[in-house]
Amino acid sequence: MGMGRPSGAWSTPWSVVVLVHWLLWATERRRGAVVEASHVEFASLQSVPASVVDNRLRTGYHFQPPRNWINDPNGPMYFNGVYHLFYQYNPNGSVWGNIVWAHSVSTDLVNWIALDPAIRPSKPFDINGCWSGSATVLPGNRPAIFYTGIDPQQRQLQNVAYPKDLSDPYLREWVKPDYNPVIAPGDGINASAFRDPTTAWRGPGTHWKLVVGSKWNRRGKAILYRSRDFVHWVKAKHPLHTVKDTGMWECPDFYPVAVKGRRGLDTSAYGDGMKHVLKVSLDLRRYEYYTLGKYYHYQDKYVPDNTSADDHTGLRYDYGNFYASKTFFDPKKQRRILWGWANESDAKDVDVAKGWAGIQAIPRTIWLDSSGRQLIQWPIEELESLRGKHVVVEHKKVSGGNSFEVEGINSSQADVEVAFEVSGLEKAEAFDPSWATDAEALCGRKRADVKGGVGPFGLLVLASANMEEKTAVFFRIFKAEHKHVVLMCHDPTRSSMRPNLYRPTFAGYVDVDIAKTGKISLRSLIDHSVVESFGADGKTCITSRVYPSLAIGKDAHLFVFNNGSADVKVSELKAWEIRRPLMNGA
C-alpha cells in the first residue's frame, strides 16, 4: 500500500507535519509500542473537492480518473475477454484518504471505462480502510480478490471478495463473505505492518500459497501462507524470504519468468526453464527493488541468485517515480504485464487546487533478459495504436556542445524512439568505483549542463523555445578499469520556472557493452507532466513527473543535444504524436 507519502515539495507546513510525525513515531518506538503510524494524513484536505479541474498539465494517454487522488494499482487481471484494473482511489478529494478500490475495464489496455468502486469500507474487518491487494482466478474460472482491510483496532487484516454475478462481463459488484478476515496477524507479527497480499499460486501440490508484506523492527519480510480451500489459511514456519535493514516490504510481487524468450508464465507455473522474481516496495525509501532466483516449491523457499544485490541497492523496475507496482499474467497474449504508480511531486495544496493527483505508468510487458541477470520492460504494443502524425530524422551528426530541434509534431504528447551511434570512447571520463551503488547521486553531480567526454547526450523534452525550461533524458559514458560504464539519467532540475517544486534527478546504470556495439537506443513517452524513458531496448527505465510553466501544449519543444566533447550520431529518430484514448470518461 503506497500510502500517499510525499515524494517531494518540501514546503514549510509539510516539513512541520513530517517532523511531528517522526517525533511521535520515535517516542512510541522508545516506549515499545507495537502499532506504528504508517502514513501521514492530511485530514483537513481528504474531502475537499476541487471546484474546477485544472487540465493544463493533466496527462493525455496515461491511466487516471477524471479527478481526485489515486495510488497503488490493485488486482489487475484478464477475465473473459476484459482487462480489469482496480486501484486505490479517494472519491472525495485529491490527497490520500477515504480510500476505496476503484474499478476500470478495457479490451485493449489503452481505452478505459470507469465503473463504480468494487470494494468500499463496510464491514468490521475493513471499516477503517480497504487497502491494496491482488486478484487470482480460481479453478472453475472464478476470480477472487485478496485485499488488506483495517479494523476498528487499526489492525491490518487480509480479506477475500468474489464477484456477485459471474455472468456480468464487467464484474461490477463484489461480495465480501462474513467469514473474513481469512488471515489475521498472529503472534510475532506487527499488526500495523502486515499488508498487500500477492496473487496466489499453486505448485505441484494441492495447497494455494500467497505472500503478505511485513517487517519486524527493520527486517523486511515476505510472510508465506498456505490454504487448501482459499478460506482457511495457515502461516508457514518460515517466511518466503527476509532481508535485514530493509524496513517494511509493501506491495510484494512473486512470479515466474521463462529463461528463454518473451513468453509470460502463469503465476502457478513450475518446472524447468524458469526463474522467479521477488519484488518489494520499500516503505523507508519509497522505491522498489527486485531479485531473480530459484523457488523451491516443496520447501517453499526462495533463494536469490548472486547476480545482483538483495537490498536497496539492487535492481529496480524503474529508477524514478514508480512505486507499488503489480504484475499479472495475460493469457490472451501469453505475456506478463507490469503496472506502477507515479505520484505527484508538487505540493499538496497544488494538488487540491488542480483537482487530481497520481497516475498509473504505461503498462509494460516484462520478460527475462537473455543474460539471465535482469528483467526487460517495454511499453505494451497496444500503445502504438495511438500513434498519429510522425517525423523521422536519419544520419545526423551532433557535435559536442550542439543541439537541434525535432520539428513537425506536438511533442507535449508524444512517443520518441532514437538510436545513437557513439564514438570517441577514449574521451570517456574516468569512473570512480565509489559511484557504483548510487547512480542517482552521480547524475545529480554530473547533470545535463555539466560538460563531459562521451556525453551527456540525449533528448531535451517538454522544453520551452529558448530552453529556459527543459527536462533532459541522457546517457553519459565513463571508463572503468576493465570496461565502460553507461549512466542513464533524467535531469528535471530546469523543468519548470515555478518555484518550490521537487525536481530530483533519477538515474540507473545500463548493462551494455558500448565498446562492442557502438550503439545505444532510447525511447521516451512524453505526456504533459510525465516522462517515461526506456534505455537500451528496456534494460533501464526511468519515470519523472515534471510541471512546466512555459512548455505546455503546443509551446512544448523537443531537442536532441550533446554536451560531451566526443561527437555522436543520430542514426535514426522517429517521433509520433499520441492521440488521446478513451480515459475513464475524462
The one-digit pLDDT tens for each residue of the chain (586 residues) are 765 433 333 333 333 333 333 333 333 333 333 334 445 567 777 877 776 788 999 999 999 999 999 999 999 999 999 999 999 999 999 999 999 999 999 999 999 999 999 999 999 999 999 999 999 999 999 999 999 999 999 999 999 999 999 999 999 999 999 999 999 999 899 999 999 999 999 988 889 999 999 999 999 999 999 999 999 999 999 999 999 999 999 999 999 999 999 999 999 999 999 999 999 999 999 999 999 999 999 999 999 999 999 999 999 999 999 999 999 999 999 999 999 999 999 988 999 999 999 999 999 999 999 999 999 999 999 999 999 999 999 999 999 999 999 999 999 999 999 999 999 999 999 999 999 999 999 999 999 999 999 999 999 999 999 999 999 999 999 999 999 999 999 999 999 999 989 999 999 999 999 999 999 999 999 999 999 999 999 999 999 999 999 999 999 999 999 999 999 999 999 999 999 999 999 8
Inter-residue contact 308 to 374 (CB < 8 Å): yes
222's CB contacts (< 8 A; 6+ apart) are 211, 212, 213, 214, 239, 240, 241, 242, 249, 252, 254, 278, 280, 302
CA distances (Å), 148 to each of 34, 125, 381, in order?
18, 9, 32
Give the pLDDT score at 49: 76
* 3-class secondary structure, 514: helix
Domains of the chain: 12-49+69-379 (2.115.10.20), 386-578 (2.60.120.560)
Q: Is 247 left (phi over 0), alpha (psi -120 to 50) or beta?
A: left
Strand pairing category for 323-330 and 471-479? unpaired
Question: What local confidence, expressed as pLDDT, does residue 60 receive?
Answer: 98
Tell me the pTM. Answer: 0.93
Between the alpha carbon of residue 108 and those of residues 302, 386, 484, the distances in Å are: 34, 11, 41
pLDDT of residue 546: 98
Selection from 387, 263, 415 nearest residue 337 by Cα: 263
Using CA atoms, how far apart are residues 510 and 490, in angstroms rounded to an integer?
13
Rounded Cα gap, residues 128 and 493, in angstroms: 39
Q: Give the pLDDT of residue 321.
A: 98
The set of catalytic residues is 72
Structure confidence at residue 3 (pLDDT) = 55
Euclidean distance between CA atoms 538 and 536, whole angstroms: 6
